[in-house]
Structure 1
Amino acid sequence: MKAATLTKKTSALCLSALLAFAGAAPAYADSISLVRDAETEQMLRDYSTPIWRAAGLVPSSVRVHLVMDPGINAFVAGGQRMFINTGLITQSDEPMELIGVIAHETGHMAGGHLARGQEAMGKLALPYYASMIAGLGAIIAGAGDAGMAILAGGSQVAMRSMLTYSRQQEGSADQAGATYLQRAGLSGKGMLLLFEKFRDQEALSTQQQDPFIRSHPISEDRLASLEERVKASPYFDKPDPPESIHHFKMVQAKLNGFVDAPDVTFRRYPSSDQSDYAHYGRAVAYHKAGDNEKALSELEFLLKKDPKNPYLWELKGQIQFEGGKVAESVPSYRQSLALKPNEPQFQLSLAQSMLAVEKPEFDREALGYLQESVKHDSENPFAFYQLSIAYSRQNNIGMAELSTAQYYEAIGAMKDARMHAEKAQSLLKAGSPEWLRAQDIVTARNEMEDR
């Protein structure tokens, strides 16, 4: 897991987007902080894939994003993107709770609620605008009290209408999610358990409520309807497999180690705890505290038990690299990639390590890994940044400029992206695929300026 995060704009949320009109949209409406971790992302995809298939979605078309946020929340956005907070993972008691939320969000995605919600917002806003015009007219005419009453009444009607629509969509997503879980042979008990935890939170002020409640209002009727549906499934009492529970706890420990301060992690996983996940969490915490010898010692305990775990080797490489032992990190990253050959984040990490060693014999190999990495994960800005370095080492300045342009494009800095794309075009063969890619970036920037 990389501690550095990427701030990325997003314009759509789960049905909480409906509340934006009323001024109650979560902070994600402006920006979210994304973090990358191959192990966590793979776990989420493992949980999600059978549900997506049951919903008629193509798994390869759905993107899962990990949001660095301690709150329990998840949402979907346009382009079949699912966002899951780190807090939802760390605060779930068992895999089935997380899986239940994934099924619910898949219900929104497969049901087209995002597009329909935006359309509904437009329709629901009309009564509010009409009352606003009438109220202002009354105020201008001298009937101030009557005008203010009209404005307040119109706002309340719009709010009630939007909340009703939101509850309908949430209930629909519940039922769809329960259906997908049953089709996939999975229990819906986790969805019920998690929602029951928040049964009483609707009575709290919005400042005290968990973000999940603000974006997923849970009524008694909705909970009762969901309970009836999931208990009717023949898989209701099907437990999570032991290996799934173990992996889930391992991922929780890793996330806790990275997200929390080291002293918090050490209290959660004291030295007396000799479980695998306690060693995992402490390894990360010691690394964050700057004690890499203890971090590697905790990790070696796990590697002796599970030497074919690619994520343990990846973490070892990260600890070595960030601890200044760059050359020693190369074999560790090599091992992680050997155990999981097509993982783009492993390819990126190994390439970064090789480039940092600054040995010419590593440079061309690193370039190959980076080319493969961006081929399978074209939304990682850091991969393009490293690719620009690798191309520069090969004296391929045209491709280095294109990679730099793609880096800026990925982080949304379109002015800089256009500048480097134009430089790339001047150095690349006109009409080549690379030249055309640079042209796309220039054109995209021009279109933004014309709006």
Structure 2
Amino acid sequence: MFSYRFLGLLVLVSMLLAAPLRAANAMLLLRDVEIETTLRDLADPIFRAAGLDPSSITIYIVNDNSLNAFVAGGQNLFLNSGLLIRTETPDQLAGIIAHETGHIAGGHLSRARIAMENAGSQALLGALLGAAAAVAGAPQLGIAALAGGLTVAQGGFLKFSRTQEQAADQAATRFLGEVGQSPVGLLQFFEILESDDLRLSRQADPWLQTHPLTRSRIEFLENQVQKSRFAKVRMSGGALERHERMRAKLDAFLSQPSDALERWKDDRSVPGRYAMAIALYRLPKLNEALKEIRALVSDYPDDPYFHELEGQMLYENGRTFDAIEPYRQALALLPGSALLKLGLAKAMIDTYDPAQLKEARQQLVDATVAEPENAEAFRLLATTEGKLGNEGAATIAMAEFSLVIGRFDDARRYAIRASQLVQPGDPQFFKLQDLQAAIEALPPDARNPRPRRSLG
């Protein structure tokens, strides 16, 4: 759901990650149901081939134009938008994911933990992972800013040794083989990086700073491609189109809309038409954008993401009633999506129509079940319950919101207030008990974080 106005891609968090003696850079973590699904389709088979449970690995999309991917804080995979756009094929992206999976499966992160602590970066990494929940799509909270000692890429505290890099390469080729793919994509990506490294020696891509590239690694992959029984296998069909759509969508949402319009105006492929619709919507030329997206909806009525984009265009231009039906269509085609439920609920709430509130409430309840760390869903649920006159349920939702964003003192206060409003026999009573148990399980010294300077 691209919902951060013109920038798009539901913004989870912006953090100040400052390298020593350098200006701080804003870092945005992004969300979009279509792109997340595309990444999961590629990554989950690789995770399983590595003996990992896909549901235990979180994939984050970083709004950064540089080529970078890294793993951090356990089973967390970060992929830069610039890398996603730059990959020419899904095979290249799968190779990158397989390599990073090699670091996770090889236990390289736990070995790096001491180095991270020595670098004073553990707290910063915790903020990176925790603040995502803290602002989960809630622009009224402002943009969280943290003064950090080292950036993830520039500080190098996640830099792996040559031995670990070679082990991750070997693991990647094995994982790719087990899912019937060639390591040629990873080789091609390394060749792209090698070219960039020679051309931009002082400003090499961050991936090169944290994953030192050597000629021996390229030679190893060349040898593995020759030996692979899948050497000539390339992804095609749906995988290729999903990858192209992801690239087009990111480009159209994250670049200047006039530039995107110029790039895509003569491309009448599905990804090209998709990018055109987004670029027109961002200019903003709503009527032209709606014409483009509705043509795609007409041609592909079973595609949930085209319906979703139409709903977003209407919602963000104040046509909240009109936005409801496209969101409904999208959710009917992808009923398990928490982000689509959230989008539909927001449109319903913003109609200021009391008749819409009960359904909005149910959509939000379902969203919190599907994504129990989605702070925005709890915040909106509290608002909706309050408008419906359900003070006890609203207070519980605010306690859950506070718990998710790490404001533990507030969570305790809301839970105490809820215990005065919710009695045994109330439908919310068991939820309150679960909430109280979660709060009691917190460390005794868990307090609210210190106030953070807002950039918003």
Q: Supply the distance in 2 between the matched residues of 1:165 and 1:259 (Cα, whole angstroms).
A: 30
Q: What amino acid does structure 1 have at the position aligned with 2:345?
A: A
Tell me the distance in 2 between the aligned counterparts of 1:76 and 1:25: 24
Alignment of 1:114-263 (within 5 A): 114-119=109-114, 166-202=161-197, 208-263=203-258
Aligned to 1:57: 52
In structure 2, the residue matched to 1:157 is none
Unaligned residue ranges in structure 1 (runs of 5+)? 12-19, 126-161
- Residues 202, 217 of structure 1: 8 Å contact kept: no
**Residues 65-104 of structure 1: pairs in structure 2 closer than 5 A:** 65-104=60-99
- Give the match for residue 361 of structure 2: 367
**2:400–2:435: 8 Å Cα contact kept in structure 1?**
no
* Structural mapping, 1:238-387, within 5 Å: 238-270=233-265, 272-387=266-381
d(CA) in 2 for partners of 1:318, 1:450: 34
1:8/1:446 Cα in 2 relative to 1: closer, same or farther (>3 Å)? Answer: farther
Q: What secondary structure does 1:432 align onto?
A: helix
Query: What is the DSSP-based 3-state SS (H/G/I as helix, E as strand, rest coil) of the residue aligned with 1:194?
Result: helix
What's the offset of the Cα at 1:438?
A: 4.2
Worse-superposed segment, 401-410 or 93-102? 401-410
Distance 1:223 1:277, change over 3 A: same
* Preserved CA contact (<8 Å) 1:26 1:211: no
> Larger Cα Rg: Structure 1 or Structure 2?
1
More helix by share: 1
Structure 2 CA distance for partners of 1:124 and 1:208, relative to 1, 3 Å? closer
* Partner of residue 48, structure 1: 43
For 1:62, the aligned partner's letter is: I
In structure 2, give the amino acid aligned to 1:84.
L
Match of 1:342, SS state, is coil
Percentage of matched positions with identical amino acids? 34
Structure 1 residues 61-100: Cα deviation after superposition (integer angstroms, max 9, x where no partner) = 2221211111111112234221111111111111111111
Over the aligned positions, Cα root-mean-square deviation in angstroms equals 3.1
Q: 1:190-217, CA deviations, whole angstroms, 9 ceiling, x for partnerless residues?
A: 1110011111555677751111111111
Q: Distance in 2 between matches of 1:364 and 1:432?
A: 21
Distance (Å, rounded) in 2 between the aligned partners of 1:403 and 1:449: 19
Match of 1:447 in 2: 445
Q: 1:286 to 1:216 in 2, by over 3 A?
A: same
Distance in 2, matches of 1:56 and 1:231, equals 26
Q: Could you list the per-position Cα deviations for residues 20-60 of structure 1 after superposition, in whole angstroms to 9, with x for gaps in the alignment?
A: 9x9799989xx842111000000000001111111111122
Aligned residue number for residue 385 of structure 2: 391
Q: 1:433 is matched with which residue: 414, 426, 431?
A: 431
- Partners in 2 of 1:26 and 1:243 — Cα distance? 42
Q: Shift of residue 326 of structure 1?
A: 0.4
Alignment partners' CA distance in 1, 2:212 and 2:170: 15
With the length of structure 2 as denominator, give the TM-score of the two structures. Answer: 0.80
Shift of 1:114: 0.7
Could you tell me which amino acid in structure 2 is paired with residue 5 of structure 1? V
| In structure 1, distance between residues paired with 2:330 and 2:107 | 39
**1:56 is aligned with what amino acid?**
G
Change (3 A) 1:25 1:231: farther
What letter corresponds to residue 299 of structure 1 in structure 2?
A: I
Q: Is the CA contact 1:74–1:84 (under 8 Å) kept in the aligned structure 2?
A: yes
Which of 383, 389, 405 aligns to 1:411? It is 405
Which range is displaced more, 220-229 or 308-317?
A: 220-229
The answer to whether the 8 A contact 2:244-2:271 is kept is: yes
| Change in CA separation of 1:349 and 1:390 when aligned onto 2, cut-off 3 Å | same
On the 8 A contact 2:409/2:448 being kept in 1, the answer is no
Matched residues in 1 for 2:435 and 2:44: separation? 32
| Alpha-carbon spacing, 1:24–1:101, altered in 2? closer, same or farther (3 Å) | farther
Query: Once the 2 structures are TM-superposed, how far is the Cα of residue 274 of structure 1 from its aligned partner?
Result: 1.7
Which residue of 2 is the match for residue 6 of structure 1? 12
**Cα deviation, residue 176, structure 1:** 0.5
After alignment, is 280-289 or 408-417 more displaced?
408-417
Query: Quick check: 2:338–2:366 contact (8 Å CA) kept in 1?
Result: yes
Output the amino acid matched with 1:252.
R
Distance 1:432 1:254 in 2: 43
Deviation of 1:405 (Å): 2.9
Which stretch shifts more, 205-214 or 71-80?
Answer: 205-214
- Structure 1 distance, partners of 2:105, 2:367, is 29
Residues 372, 326 of structure 1: CA spacing in aligned structure 2 closer, same or farther, 3 A cutoff?
same
Classify 1:24/1:425 alpha carbon distance in 2 versus 1 (closer, same or farther; 3 Å): farther
- Corresponding residue of 1:148: none
Alpha-carbon spacing, 1:206–1:225, altered in 2? closer, same or farther (3 Å): same
The Cα shift of 1:447 comes to 2.6
Task: Give the 3-state SS of the residue equivalent to 1:357 in structure 2.
Answer: coil
Moved more, 73-82 or 108-117: 73-82
The code of the aligned residue for 2:220 comes to S
Q: Which amino acid aligns with 1:389?
A: T
Partner amino acid, structure 2, of 1:406: E
2:396 to 399, 402, 412: 402
Higher mean C-alpha deviation, range 355-364 or range 248-257: 355-364
SS at match of 1:448: coil
Aligned equivalents of 1:101, 1:87: Cα separation in 2: 13
Tell me, yes or no, if the aligned pair for 2:407 and 2:447 is still in contact at 8 Å: no
Whether the aligned pair in 2 keeps the contact of 1:415 and 1:445 (CA below 8 Å) is no
- Render the CA deviation track for 1:109-129: whole Å, top value 9, x for unaligned: 11111111114667999xxxx
